[in-house]
Amino acid sequence: MSDDLDFSQPAQPKPPAKKPAVNPTAPAPKPVYNAAMALEFFRAGGKAEAAPAGTQFFAEEEKAGFLKRDKMYLLMEGEVTLSAKGKPIGAVKAGEIFGEMAAISESPRSATAVAKTACRVTALDDKDFKKALQVKPEFALMLMGMMILRLRGMLARLSQNSLDSSGSGGARLLDKTMVEALAKGLGPDAIVRHNARTQLFTEGSAGALAHVVPDGRVGVSIQGKVVERVGPGGIFGEMALVDQSVRAASAVAETDVTLIAINRTVFVNLVKANPEFGAALLGAVAERVRFIAARVK
């Protein structure tokens, strides 16, 4: 995978700024990509197909049509070249996945992918992807981990001036029916309520839970600037759920809020029972990657 699309490799941070890191003694994150797991996942949802040299899998800025998601690919044999703005940016080798960001986030393709040699690939559309999630829900955690490694690397390169203090609107990721089913299935012990202006967690603190918002609004900030506002149906705190590392942001209840807490074990069980939930959470992480990537200087 290219540097832009390879989330198994963290971005290389620039020399430290004047302000010291929140936790300078934290160990470097370990690569999380597991080729064997990827193979099992793709086999559970699709079948390998031949692609002759010169086959274009997708083009830069291309976007799937209405009610149809882009495909993601696992390269079984051969080599695929990736280019952006007409210039090569990397290559995909056998055993690697590509095209996953657009498929997850439903955003335009950030690169063009062409078979450099004769290839065998397994492609998954939206239906195939959810089918595979039921069989191998751990893949969702792995894919999120790949994206989060990249995201944490980009956060290390951010300067305060590169952050937009207006915050994004916080789109609903889970519909009302899914949120209600989640609350019912997890029971009252997973539901917590906080008053407005409550500090939910702080940047640099330990964390292992993600939260879904049934009611209210939460402000998420980095370096003291609000970068997102999460409302009903939204999710936050998922980075710590995946890599069980320190919080990359702070969260404050902007109104009275109700939250549903989710740990790693619950997440895997939820994805297996409801692949739509796993797809929604992956989409949340992908959007945050794109948001921060646009602001890294």
Q: What is the pLDDT of residue 169?
A: 56
Instruction: At 213, list the tokens.
Output: 């918002």
Q: Order of strands across the sheet with 56-58?
A: 56-58, 112-115, 80-84, 87-92
CB atoms within 10 A of CB 100: 23
pLDDT at 145: 85
Q: From CA 128, how far away is CA 232, in angstroms rounded?
A: 28
Given CATH 3.40.50.620, say whether it is the number of domain 35-135: no
Q: Would strands 87-92 and 80-84 be described as parallel, antiparallel, or unpaired?
A: antiparallel
Instruction: Tell me what pLDDT residue 280 has.
Output: 80
Give pLDDT, residue 267: 81
User: What confidence score (pLDDT) does residue 160 get?
Assistant: 58
Mean pLDDT by 10 residues, the chain (297 residues): 35 42 41 87 94 96 69 96 94 94 84 97 92 88 85 75 58 78 89 96 90 94 88 88 84 97 85 80 79 68
Domains 35-135 and 160-293 share a fold: yes
What letter would DSSP give residue 190?
A: G
Where exactly are the structural domains of the chain? 35-135, 160-293
> Could you read off the pLDDT of 168-181 as tens digits, one per residue?
555 557 788 888 88
pTM: 0.72
CA 32 – CA 41 distance, rounded (Å): 15
Which fold, 160-293? Jelly Rolls (2.60.120)
